[in-house]
Structure 1
Amino acid sequence: MSARILLTCLPYYSHLVPVLVPVAKALQKAGHAVAVATAPAMADELARHGIEHLPLPHVRTLEQLLADPAVLSSPGMPGAEDEEAADTARAREEPGALTKAFAGPLAGIFARDLIAAAERWRPDVLVRECNEFGGYLAAVKLGLPRAVLDIAPGTAAHLPFLHDTLNAELVALGVLGDQGDPGRPNDGLLAAVVPARWYADPVPSLRCYRTDDPGVADFAPLAVAGLGTVAHTVVPEASRLLAAMALALGELPGPAVLSTGPAEWTGPRPPNVRIVPFAPQSRLLGRALLFLSHGGFGGVQEALRSGTPMVVLPLFADQPANARRVSELGLGVAVDPAEASPEVLASACLRVLAPEFRDRAAEFAGLVRELPGFDVLAEDLAALR
């Protein structure tokens, strides 16, 4: 029997395309009705993949939010906090102002638009990616079965700090009284895209699935590097780090690819390094021996799947947790961004090219291959209705 399954995500390419789109396609293939609710700005991307879009009219992209002084200065938003407080939160690996905003006022906006859309679309199940909390609020309000696509396991460490923020949003939606408790947003099916070994602590509701194999690129680089699609917007030192990465890659004994983002590149261009705005990262990693990145989980997950050892420069959000887990599992090394000179990065890269890192990464990739695919996840999600 077919089900109506509504997926939600923050309006970032890296949150939508690598996991949510393949899940939506698996649901379509299984005969279920599926739609993705997110910002209007994602309409073209979803249309490109042939997936129904429920546009949430008041949900904006990160670039749109950061460009609006009125939003940044409003209570609960990043601009309303002073720089010292943000630095302290970052040092403690507590969620920063932006994370709290996406679990607070921005989640409330998302939830209200989503409730209106869900009343028209009438889903049987609501599935959110773990960074998007409006879906959680709406599911509780509407009494819908829910599941979580765990596209960033490290963010689970933030949940205790977000308890009061989420509770306040549920109170505002009329779900709870002032003394209510929102429970745990990750209750229910937690769908992982890596083997259970990645999780340092057991998670009773965890089920693990294998993402689609993207194939491999024609070009075989020794190393692939970049800072993802979000860091360029929110990290002031991104340009400095990219320049250091380019110079470090220039010291390696083989070709490398560095993805620098949409801005015009004016930094160093070592002869063995291809500088591109955007690279087919997942396909390149299938042939690379090294991945140098900020440790966003999308890229980490791709490297785990391809068996590519990593050097990680954790910058924000779940990245410190990802870097720590990469080190603990012997799949690579972490470098403090403040110490990321070209010399330090080159040394770390050469170290990770050693056979022991390749062997451990290959072993982990074997665990990935043993996981069931998204066809099984589609069955599990439909069974929640």
Structure 2
Amino acid sequence: MSHFLLPSTPIYGHLTPMVAVGRGLAERGHQVTVLTGRRYADLVAEAGLGFLPLSAEADYDDGHLEDWLPDRARHRGLAAGRYDILNLFVRPLAAQHTALQVAVASRRYDAVVCEAAFLGVLPLLAQPRHERLPVVGVSATPLALTSVDSAPFGSGLEPGSSAHSRRRNRFISTVLHGGPLRPVQTALRTALDTVGAPPPEGNYFDQATRFDLTFQLATPGIEYPRRELPPSVRFVGPLRLPVPAAPLPGWWGDLDGSRPVVHLTQGTMANLDLSRLMVPALRGLASEDVLVVASTGGRPVAQLEAQLGGPLPANARVATFLPYDRLLPRTAAMVTNGGFGGVQQALAAGVPLVVAGSTEDKPEVAARVSWSGAGLNLRTGRPTPTRVRRAVRRLLTDPGYAGAAERLRAEIAGLNDPIDAVADGLARLLAGDRVDLAVEQDLLRP
């Protein structure tokens, strides 16, 4: 039995995949301790894992980010993304690093299994491999690696395959990284210097590929090809999440196949204002011959009705949470704000998507869905009812979208359990040979 330390930024969408990985490793006989924010101590404990808290300098409540980032609402577009990167990921680096050092010094661990956005691990990775613990990364967000073959992360642009596209990619990368995104690289360099670590290797957006192994919780068909992709990155597909034991809503019998089911979700984080997507989608689909099955992501159904300004449409059924293992096999199309985990669960069921997201990494998720052919990118987080209605009609009438989603479903089904891949990678790293796994193509490539 090995003991693994799992550091993670205290953001729900980043932490919950790590908890799932930790639970899976524990079920395989290992001891697991999670280092993250105090808000999630109970979530970690309920999974049967050990818990270590981050210090206040690295801990924040992602349910009340205004307390940590009082000026966040003032930023829009690229400036908003830069502000979040600087304050949610770079700013806590030094305190994360200290917490990681204290944890490693306090007891014996066999390896670190790190959430890929936890930058406090970078000073550890800078040490010679034979002088430190093995460190693997787990990434539950789209791959951000810079490349001549793709536009810079955050632009929301599909890559293209022509020489013109590659010139465009180089030009945009030069402009963004030398201008609006330059403070990110400067801040990362300063943060590393503060803790006595060497400068970063490559761009800020390349750090998720610095690990001994990086496990990308995605299917390769949803990610852009890049010639610069290190062989240490392995696409292992979305997690196979446990099925919650919860009663089905009373209206579940209405999903009888008489009408196409359109699932509507605004995720579990960016759902404070349900008027961004859920309200226009409900209005736009109200007159369609479909059954709209919506999840509020934990928000009260009464909140949705209040923001809708009246009762729910006759063809709408709403719950706070819904079991995807039961719902998605019955679903013909999904309308979402682009949470990466939810999108991948839909693709694992072969469900085509309409994506309307404008915050965090959601424009990048939307672009990847469009690029793969498995859905439509509305290029906004606040679509009109008409745009949603037209997009859903396209998905339901053009078989190409369902065909692409089915192709990705088959691709995901052909992958092994991601946690088996993580456990196998760790076993090889701990075998004692300290071999360079970058040349073991059978392990590192799908």
TM-score bracket, shorter-length normalisation: 0.7 to 0.9
Report the CA distance shift for 1:140/1:251 in structure 2 as closer, same or farther (over 3 A): farther
2:422 aligned residue: 377
Per the alignment, residue 437 of structure 2 pairs with none
Structure 1 pair 51–248 and aligned structure 2 pair: CA distance change class (3 A): farther
Q: Which moved more, 1:277-286 or 1:148-157?
A: 277-286
Distance 2:50 2:326 in 1: 26
Could you list the per-position Cα deviations for residues 314-334 of structure 1 after superposition, in whole angstroms to 9, with x for gaps in the alignment?
212221121111111110001
Quote the Cα distance in structure 2 between the aligned partners of 1:336 and 1:114. Answer: 39
Pairs within 5 Å for 1:27-176: 27-58=25-56, 59-68=59-68, 72=70, 78=72, 83=75, 86-89=76-79, 95-137=81-123, 139-140=125-126, 143-156=132-145, 157-158=152-153, 161=181, 162-176=184-198
Which residues in structure 2 correspond to 1:141-290 (within 5 Å)? 143-156=132-145, 157-158=152-153, 161=181, 162-176=184-198, 180-183=199-202, 184-185=206-207, 186-188=209-211, 189-202=213-226, 203=229, 204-210=231-237, 211-212=239-240, 219=252, 220=255, 222-232=261-271, 238-260=274-296, 261-262=298-299, 264-265=303-304, 266-268=306-308, 269-281=312-324, 283-290=326-333
8 Å Cα contact 1:128/1:136 also seen in 2: no
Q: Which has the larger radius of gyration?
A: 2
Q: Matched residues in 2 for 1:321 and 1:166: separation?
A: 22
| SS across alignment from 1:166 | helix
Amino acid at match of 1:119: A
CA separation in 1, counterparts of 2:271 and 2:94? 26
Q: Which SS does the other structure have where 1:127 is aligned?
A: strand
Is 1:15 aligned to 2:55, yes or no?
no
Query: Which string of whole-angstrom CA distances, capped at 9 and with x for unpartnered residues, describes residues 303-357 of structure 1?
Result: 1111110000021222112111111111000113266111110110111123322
Q: What is the alpha-carbon distance in structure 1 between the residues aligned to residue 293 and residue 107 of structure 2?
A: 43
Question: Which residue is 1:342 aligned to?
Answer: 385
Unaligned ranges ≥5, structure 2: 146-151, 155-176, 431-446
| Cα pair 1:289 1:309 within 8 Å, conserved | yes
Aligned counterparts of 2:325 and 2:141: Cα–Cα separation in 1: 17
Deviation at 1:148, TM superposition (A): 1.7
Match of 2:218, as an amino acid? V
Q: How far apart are residue 5 of structure 1 and its match? A: 1.7
SS in 2 for 1:286: helix
- TM-score normalised to the size of structure 1? 0.84
Q: State the identity as a percent.
A: 26
**2:282 is aligned with what amino acid?**
A
Cα separation, 1, equivalents of 2:243 and 2:78: 42
RMSD of aligned Cα (Å): 2.8
Amino acid at match of 2:41: A
Normalised to the residue count of structure 2, the TM-score between the two structures is 0.73
CA contact (8 A) 2:295 2:320 kept: yes
Alpha carbons 1:154, 1:321 under 8 Å: kept: no
Equivalent pairs counted in the alignment come to 363
Residues 23-77 of structure 1: CA deviation (Å, up to 9, x unaligned): 1122123322212110011011112211211122321222344125xx536xxxx
The residue number in structure 1 matching 2:159 is: none
Please state whether the residue corresponding to 2:289 is helix, strand or coil: coil
1:361 to 405, 415, 419: 405
